[in-house]
Structure formats: structure tokens, C-alpha cells
Amino acid sequence: MLGNLVTWLRILGYDTEYWKGDDKEMLEIAKKEGRIILTKDRGVARFAEKNGIPVLELMSSDVPEALATTAEAFGISLEFDRKRTRCPVCNTPLKSYGSRWLCDKCGKEYWIGSHWVDISKRLSEARRIFLERKSLGSNVLK
Ligand SMILES: [Zn+2]
């Protein structure tokens, strides 16, 4: 349900897997690999909580909104860092060559093109939501 968010977390440099399989198996892997579960499924969120796996139940799949909520809960950075960005397709850390990035695993190449305007816009929107909530004193971990 949160495929789009996965792409963004990878761009921001976070090791993120998009899980399409069985819920129970996902929880086992999350536990084993020390991962945090982001979900829109209340049942999954409850089950993870009961099993002591860090979980964040997201109410919206809107990317800036979901990124802001994740930043609030787990302190992720909402700034693009060219040195730590990952392949949006396969999650491999990208190698930076001047103004380009290359994925060793899937061979994809990335550069700052016209789509970059949209990426920057969405990230600043996420930061705006984050700062706005912070100034209002809301906290999703309450
Ligand atoms: Zn790749």
C-alpha cells in the first residue's frame, strides 16, 4: 500500500524493503533484521506492537504527509544527501559520479533532470508539514 513511500525513503538513503508477501513472515524478518514497519493496515500495526516490533501506522499515503509523520516518529532526515541515496528500484546504495549516480546491482543510472524540481518540491512540502506540526507540539508517539 505504501510503494510510493518506499521509493522516497530510498531516495533519502534509508534501507527500505517493500513487502508484498505474508504478514507473519514480514514481522519475522522485521524482527530479525531490526527493521521498522510502516503500514496503513491497523491489524498489522497491532500485531507488530504486540510482538515488540517498532511500527508506525500511517493514516495517509500522501508522500509529503507520510514522510513528515515518519520523520516525527523516527527522526529520519528530510534532506536529500547525494552521498547516502539508494536506488529507488532495488534499494542498493548508489555510487555517485559527479552529477550522476549509478546502481551497481540493477545498472540504472540517475541524474538531476527535470523531475528534480518535483522531488525538491515534495521534500520541502514534507519539511513544511514536519515543522508546522513541531511548532504545534503534536507528536505521533504520544
Ligand atoms: Zn538498482
* CA pair distance 128, 15, nearest whole angstrom: 24
Cell numbers 538531476 correspond to 112
* CA pair distance 55, 39, nearest whole angstrom: 8
Model's pTM, two decimal places?
0.90
What does pLDDT average to over the chain?
A: 92
User: What pLDDT score was predicted for residue 140?
Assistant: 56
The single-letter code of the amino acid at 28 is: E
* 52 Cα: distance to centroid of ligand 1 (angstroms): 31
User: What pLDDT score was predicted for residue 138?
Assistant: 59
Distance of CA 111 to the CA centre of its chain: 20
Question: Is pLDDT larger for residue 86 or for residue 136?
Answer: 86
Write the CB contacts of 46 (distance below 8 Å, at least 6 apart in sequence).
Answer: none
- pLDDT tens-digit profile of 27-77? 999 999 999 999 999 999 999 999 999 999 999 889 999 999 999 999 999
* 18 Cα: distance to centroid of ligand 1 (angstroms): 14
What are the structural domain ranges in the chain?
Answer: 3-78+116-136
- pLDDT tens-digit profile of 5-20? 999 999 999 999 999 8
Question: Is pLDDT larger for residue 137 or for residue 122?
Answer: 122
Q: Bridge partners of 95?
A: 102
Q: Band the pLDDT of 81: cuts 50, 70, 90.
A: very high
* 16 Cα: distance to centroid of ligand 1 (angstroms): 13
* CA pair distance 75, 82, nearest whole angstrom: 19
The vertex-125 CA angle with 121 and 127, nearest 5°, equals 120
